[in-house]
Amino acid sequence: MLKRISQGLDRWSVRRRQFDGTAETLDSLYTKPDPWKLGSREQARFEGTNALIAQFCPPLASILEVGCGEGYQTRYFRGIADQVTGIDISATALARARVAVPKAVFLEGTLPSFLPLLRHRNYDLVTLCEVLIYGNDPATLIAAAQSCGAAVIITSYEPQSHSLSQLCSGSDWSELPEISSGRKRWKAYLWRSNASTKLT
């Protein structure tokens, strides 16, 4: 009984810190597979994200997925791009992602730590799906994504996306239709490096 109480308190402590963005916290969460239930709950968001990409982006050869976790959304991205590279700070999550999506490339670390390498790749699309809530500097993460891709798509759960409209403003940004599933909604924004291709 005491062991179960102790485990429950440990899980609560980790969950309370889940958005601090540290590798230690995320690896603690990933001690159990699929801690956010992405394999069952987020399918509509994955499909909705791919639908927006298909509608608003040209055909893609390469995608850089920031915060790929265990590779659940990576599987969807492999359906629309030949080359998918995922980045995550959790070694535990990446080990599962490599098994789940063997044709993708996975890198352990943060996007800023890989910028010298990735800047020269110039991906067709960089994805920031559900990652801006981790850590405390989303503007820096967005700028890093813009430096290594021709386009950036951001999705964020609507209740947690209050600051996105300020971060995603300017002539190169477009607000996309919301992704919805039941009562859940996600905001979506697209940045393109060429202002002349802005959506109307």
What CATH code is carried by the domain that includes residue 114?
A: 3.40.50.150
- Give the domain extent around 57: 37-197
Residue 77 resides in a domain: yes
Output the tens digit of pLDDT for each of the chain's 200 residues: 666 555 454 444 444 445 445 666 666 665 666 555 555 556 788 889 999 999 999 899 999 999 998 898 999 999 999 999 999 998 998 999 999 999 999 999 988 888 888 877 789 999 999 888 777 789 999 999 999 999 999 999 887 777 888 899 889 999 999 998 888 899 999 999 974 344 43
Is 1 among the domain residues?
A: no
Q: Is 186 left (phi over 0), alpha (psi -120 to 50) or beta?
A: beta
Other CB atoms within 10 Å distance of the CB of residue 195: 10
Q: What is the pTM of this model?
A: 0.79
Burial class (CB in 10 A: 0-12, 13-18, 19+), 33: exposed
Is residue 191 in a domain? Answer: yes
Number of domains observed in the structure of the chain: 1
Q: Is residue 134 part of a domain?
A: yes
The DSSP element (H or E) to which 174 belongs, if any, is: strand 173-181
Does residue 32 form part of some domain?
Answer: no
